[in-house]
């Protein structure tokens, strides 16, 4: 597995071990779905201003969001054997993630791990537009984060 990482924000210097936890989250999401880790994921940390522009350009929503997911594969693509295929791009606003961590009373690292997990399930084809889809996706997120002991306390 390869994570292509691009930190384009200066809002907050992140702790050293966060990439290890992010990699564990990505691997666990793939494992949870029964996939190998022969995939590439692009992960960018950006400012509120940048994510707002991306949100407007790609979704037509002119406001800040916490995370955007840009899947590169369709459901059928997962049935084909690739050497290492790109799952897609995850873009996280560290400013917004920090605000949410404060709101929820847990660490920024936990919030980032949750957002990576949430986005990974989008890259794997899940959505939360309908209530039943949201419940299914939330259960998957909780299972992955729980297995890694990434709780709201952290």
Give residue 114's Cα distance to chain centre. 7
Report how far apart, in Å, the C-alpha atoms of 67 and of each of 31, 61, 81, 123, 128 are: 22, 13, 29, 12, 14
In this predicted structure, the answer to whether residue 1 has a pLDDT above a threshold of 90 is no
State the maximum Cα–Cα separation within the chain, in Å, rounded to a whole number.
42
Range of the domain at 127: 2-148
Question: Which residues is 90 bridged to in the sheet?
Answer: 43, 69
The response to whether 138 counts as a known ligand-binding position is no
- pLDDT (tens digit, 9 = 90+) per residue, 109-131? 999 999 999 999 999 999 888 89
Higher pLDDT, 147 or 78: 147
The CATH number given to whatever domain includes residue 63 is: 3.40.390.30
Looking at the domain assignment, is residue 51 inside a domain? yes
Query: Number of folded domains in the chain?
Result: 1
Per-residue pLDDT, 75? 55
State pLDDT tens for residues 20-77.
Answer: 999 999 999 999 999 988 889 999 999 999 999 999 999 999 999 999 999 986 555 5
Contact, 29 vs 82, CB < 8 A? no
In a domain, 23, yes or no: yes
pLDDT of residue 71: 93
Residue at 154 is within a domain: no
Is 122 among the annotated ligand-binding positions? yes
Residue 153 lies in a domain: no
What is the pTM assigned to this prediction?
A: 0.90
Whole-angstrom distance, CA of residue 113 vs CA of residue 127: 18
């Amino acid at each position: 597995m390869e994570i292509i990482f691009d930190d384009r924000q200066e809002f907050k210097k992140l702790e050293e071990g966060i990439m290890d936890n992010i990699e564990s989250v990505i691997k666990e999401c793939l494992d949870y779905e029964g996939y190998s880790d022969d995939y590439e994921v692009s992960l960018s940390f950006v400012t509120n201003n940048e994510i707002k522009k991306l949100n407007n350009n790609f979704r037509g929503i002119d406001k800040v969001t916490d995370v955007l997911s840009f899947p590169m594969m369709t459901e059928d693509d997962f049935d084909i054997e690739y050497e290492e295929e790109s799952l897609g791009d995850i873009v996280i606003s560290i400013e917004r993630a920090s605000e949410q961590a404060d709101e929820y009373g847990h660490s920024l690292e936990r919030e980032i791990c949750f957002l990576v997990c949430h986005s990974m399930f989008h890259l794997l084809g899940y959505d939360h537009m309908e209530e039943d889809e949201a419940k299914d996706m939330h259960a998957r997120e909780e299972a992955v984060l729980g297995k890694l002991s990434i709780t709201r306390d952290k």
